[in-house]
Amino acid sequence: MKLSRIILHHLRIPMKEVFKTALGTETVRDTLLVEVWGEGGEVGWGEVVATHSPWYSSETVETAWHVIRDFIAPSLRGKDVEPSTFGDEVSWIRGHRMCKAGVEFALWDLKGRLTSKPIRDLIGGVKDRVEVGLSVGVIGDFARLIKAVSEGLSKGFRRIKLKVKPGWDVDPVRAVRREFGEIPLQVDANGSFTLTGDHVSRLKELDRYGLLMIEQPLHHEDLVKHSKLQKMISTPICLDESIRSALDAEAAYNLGSCRVINIKPGRVGGLAETLRIHDFWAGKGLPVWIGGMLETGVGRAFAVAAASLPSVKYPSDISPSSRFWEVDVVEPPWELRSDGTMEVPRKPGIGVEVLDKVVRRYEVKSLGISLS
């Protein structure tokens, strides 16, 4: 595919629901939407899942803006590009995986629209509907925690994930087990625990609650300590931040650092790398699921497509549009069915339409770069 231009849109959207993790509190979502134009004027959309601050990864909206404007866009000029090989083309740029994913996503959407195929079909997805779970932030108050879980279960979410951190760990899990019994339950620490005595005893205590998995308990750069921890507990460890690529997945497998991977297509450089990780992990007989990054409806489309892959064996963190957004930037918005699943679109590309009016409403700045 030849491109005629790329347009960057920096959006700043107030969140309906505050989201708190071990690492900070999100109340406003800064995001970068990427619009690519084919030679014939067809349009594809993607989203860089980085935000205003580098709390989850080293990337931000501004670093992505810089890397796309100064390195990726110039390298696309006059080239024939394909989404499946785009990641290899820009592999000379080290890191910046969220940034690369945002562009790659837009290429998949464009490809889907040009070939009249949904992204699911382009990547080998097999499901018509995907299972969805709810990620509940670090609430810090038991009554509000129980209310949030109860509402999530009554909406149909297939499992509950509690964000935890040292000091808000065993108690919320015990409270939820006491109130709701053996529901599918897991926790996510965003790397906030260490292998010191006090933390290890808390992790061992968590091990007694029949959790589906414990996500990213330790430092994101420490596969070795995760491997030590996995030998100390029987609950499967799931890695999120630690897995940036298929090479990381291979290392984690060889070290025994985890049994499950939360793949976020936006974190690992896009859908091509998502497939590599999925296929490698599936080849070992192990399950994956798809994580969320508080994306707008554009980013969610790629998570939904990825969640339709065959070895996605757990519910994925794909919040419906109405959870965080007053109005989503896409039409129709992403909706949870009462059975806790989400429909995988059959329309071409991302299968939803981006609403210019909403993009303009939240736009902080934009930049068009001609590629012809």
- Residues designated catalytic: 163, 264
User: Which of Mg ion, ligand OSB, none does residue 135 bind to, with CB < 5 to 8 Å depending on kind?
Assistant: ligand OSB
CB of 190 to Mg ion, least distance (A): 6
Which of 23, 255 has the CB closer to Mg ion?
23
CB of 185 to ligand OSB, least distance (A): 14
Q: How many chain residues are in contact with Mg ion, going by CB under 5 A?
A: 3
User: Which of ligand OSB, Mg ion, none does residue 292 bind to, with CB < 5 to 8 Å depending on kind?
Assistant: ligand OSB
Which of 45, 56 has the CB closer to ligand OSB?
56
Tell me what percent of the chain is helix, strand and coil, each rounded to the nearest 5.
Answer: 40, 25, 40
3-state SS assignment for residue 225: helix
Is residue 317 near Mg ion by the rule CB under 5 A?
no
CB of 22 to ligand OSB, least distance (A): 9
Cα gap 234→351, rounded to integer Å: 40
Q: Which residue is nearest to ligand OSB (CB)?
A: 292
Tokens representing 205 are: 């205590």
Which range, of 153-161, 167-175, 208-216, 355-363, touches Mg ion by CB under 5 A? 208-216
User: Which of ligand OSB, Mg ion, none does residue 273 bind to, with CB < 5 to 8 Å depending on kind?
Assistant: none
Which of 56, 65 has the CB closer to ligand OSB?
56
Contact with Mg ion (CB under 5 A) among 240, 273, 295, 328: 240
- Judge whether 136 and 162 are in contact, CB under 8 Å: yes
What per-residue string of b and e applies to 289-307 under the rule 16 or more CB within 10 Å gives b?
bbbbbbbbbbbbbbbbbbb
Handedness of CA 46, 295, 194, 259 (dihedral sign): negative
Cα gap 279→285, rounded to integer Å: 10
Which parts of this chain interact with ligand OSB (CB under 6 A)? Answer: 56, 135, 188, 190, 240, 291-294, 317, 319
Residues 172-201 that bind Mg ion (CB under 5 A): 188
DSSP string over 30-68 = EEEEEEEEETTS-EEEEEE--BSSTTSSS-BHHHHHHHI
CB of 133 to Mg ion, least distance (A): 12
Tokens representing 224 are: 């070795």
Cα gap 256→191, rounded to integer Å: 17
Which of 93, 183 has the CB closer to ligand OSB?
183
In 181-296, which residue ranges form alpha helices assigned H by DSSP?
197-206, 223-232, 246-255, 271-283
Which of 14, 368 has the CB closer to ligand OSB?
14
CB atoms within 10 A of CB 326: 11
CB of 196 to Mg ion, least distance (A): 22
Q: Which residues bind Mg ion (CB under 5 A)?
A: 188, 215, 240
